[in-house]
Chain A
Amino acid sequence: MNRFEDDILQSMPQLKEMPYDLPEGYFDSLKKELQTEVRQNTLQPQFRQKLASYLSLAAMFVMIVAAGGFFLEKSTEKQELTQEDFLIFSDDFLYLTYYESDAEASAGIEEEDIIEYLIYTGVSADSIEHYKQ
């Protein structure tokens, strides 16, 4: 090594010292800050994982409810169609239904009133007699 380093850089130990002050307690607070930051960094992924699992559970629940609702709707729809089909294609049932409902509808109404109504709506007397039999 040359003379200057021997004379200056090596012979003046204070040159090796850092000529700067620091805010009071800086290193202690920095260490705490770093350790806290990392703890949060460590916890955050755990929280994210938990949140993701809760969200996937919620999504699964929603899917199950939606699928259940869809199938329920389908089966209800099918039931209604079956009844309609039954009503449309079974004349006997319709006939029976007609009479049943007619009997129910005409409950408490006098026969004379019905005949008057039928004459009023243009039904012939022969037809009335025929249905009466």
Chain B
Amino acid sequence: MTNNEIIRLQQAGELEKAFNGIVETYTERLYWHVRRFLCSHEDTNDLLQDIFIKIWRSLSSFRGESQLYTWVYRIATNETLNHLRKQRRNSIIEMCSLSDIMAQRIDDDPYFNGNEMQRELHKAIQRLPEKQRLVFNMRYFDDLKYEDIAEITGTSVGALKASYHHACTKIKTDMENIFL
């Protein structure tokens, strides 16, 4: 189902059909978007259900002022960042950094099937500050335009470009330290 078809259903009050269209179209993309942040299949699965419930509850208020996919991504991103903030608070209590917890999750993940370079890339991403991680994931993996990322995150395009540049530089340094 295309975004236009989903919007047409939503505007006609066919909310359940519109929602089913969103589920069909976005489940996989949102799963990987969230999974890159949480580094756990179980956590991603739980949070994804919360995200879709939020999408369902907000669907009637979607006015079409933004593109459907940036609206969907914005909800998913906000929920994910809120979830990570809660995890960060818990990690402070446990006296360890969230990036260390995430690196451990990547190492222990029974579903990991990549090579060492992929493993280190994902660990390096976890060491980035939140905003750099956000822009790197959406730009590098999802190929989103800066304009769309700006709409999702509420940040200027210039700031996003700078963040992406810093993210690439840090990842390069980390990878060089490991592999060169």
Contact = CB atoms under 8 A, between A and B. Distances in A.
Contacts of A89: none
A34 to B, nearest CB: 5
B8 interface: no
Contact of B23 (A4, A5, A8, A34): A34
Chain B interface size, as a band, is 35 or more
B113 A9 contact: no
B128 to A, nearest CB: 13
9 contacts: A9-B171, A18-B36, A19-B122, A20-B35, A20-B112, A22-B41, A30-B45, A37-B52, A41-B53
Contact of B16 (A15, A21, A39): A39
A8 B16 contact: no
Contacts of B122: 19
A14 interface: yes
A109 interface: no
B53 A18 contact: no
Nearest to A28: B27
A45 B23 CA distance: 21
B168 A9 contact: yes
A2 B172 CA distance: 9
Given A2-B168, A9-B172, 12 more contacts: A2-B169, A8-B175, A9-B168, A15-B118, A19-B118, A19-B122, A20-B41, A20-B113, A21-B113, A22-B41, A30-B31, A42-B16
A38 interface: yes
B41 to A, nearest CB: 7
